[in-house]
Structure 1
Amino acid sequence: MTAVTTEILVDVWQRLLADPRKSWVLFEHGTCVVVTAPEGDLAERATEVLREFGSVHAGSPAGDFGVIDAKDADGWVVTGHHRDVLTYVAPDEPRDRSDIAVGVYGRSKRHRDGTELRVVHVEDRRAPTGTGPA
């Protein structure tokens, strides 16, 4: 199994979230929070979202997940109960490649990110302010 480094994760999310208008924040274990209303500190906003929607609670919507085959990167994107919280699972991470195994694996990564809350990258795609002619 290959270690999934921060550099690999940043590269994957840059390919998956290619929309130049979408800012996003990456957490240590591969969870990405897309910041849809990018005002203020992006890392703080994403941390607030992940603090609320990252942890898994059995028998609640927080335990639900979906699995998407990543077309622009090898692996999968695991979704949860917040549409802007996504977790990347590399092809060599889970031993079992069934949707259920990939989903449970990705959900566990999201849970770790939602409890540890360690930001490793901020992709700020906001237009610069105060530039250009007046």
Structure 2
Amino acid sequence: MNHTSAIETWRTLLDPAKSWVLFGHDTCVILMRPDGDLADQATTLLREYGPVHPGTPAGDFDTIELRDAPGWVVTGHHPDILTYVAPDELDDHDHLVVGLHGRTKRDQDGHDLTVIHVEDKRA
């Protein structure tokens, strides 16, 4: 998935009034209390809650099959950090396989911390 497609997918999925930041491996951080530099705020959250630590809540995930876009959102231990998995990323669409893949993408974003897009909806 290219970055333009990922941005459009998140715009379709998220509340249009919310501010959010997209990272390089399709992890989105929704900013419930946007303040200051949004990229910095999201990076701080993802640095803490993105990396996976098996056997802890940071290793937990759930998958949500989407209705408004093809694919899935994979959740983790922070409710405002979500990772998109497109159907063409995997041959096996079993929820466990999708969830593990999304968790891996979140982990990559939690280490890389490469901001791709900032959606600033502050008034």
After the TM superposition, which parts of structure 1 deviate over 3 Å for at least 4 consecutive aligned residues? Answer: none
**Equivalent residue, structure 1, for 2:26:** 30
**Equivalent residue, structure 2, for 1:11:** 8
Count of residues paired in the alignment: 123
1:52 aligns with 2:63: no
Higher normalized helix content (fraction of residues): 2
Matches of 2:114 and 2:44, distance apart in 1: 12
Matches of 1:103 and 1:94, distance apart in 2: 11
Deviation sequence 1:15-51 (CA, Å, 0-9, x none): 001x232100000000000000011010000000000
Aligned-pair identity (%)? 58
Secondary structure of the equivalent of 1:92? helix
**Equivalent residue, structure 2, for 1:61:** 57
Q: State the TM-score, normalizing by the size of structure 2.
A: 0.98
Larger Rg: 1
Secondary structure of the equivalent of 1:105? helix
- Where structure 1 has 5 or more consecutive residues not aligned to the other structure, the ranges are 128-134
Matches of 2:49 and 2:10, distance apart in 1: 19
Alpha-carbon RMSD:
0.6
Secondary structure of the equivalent of 1:39? coil
Q: State the TM-score, normalizing by the size of structure 1.
A: 0.90
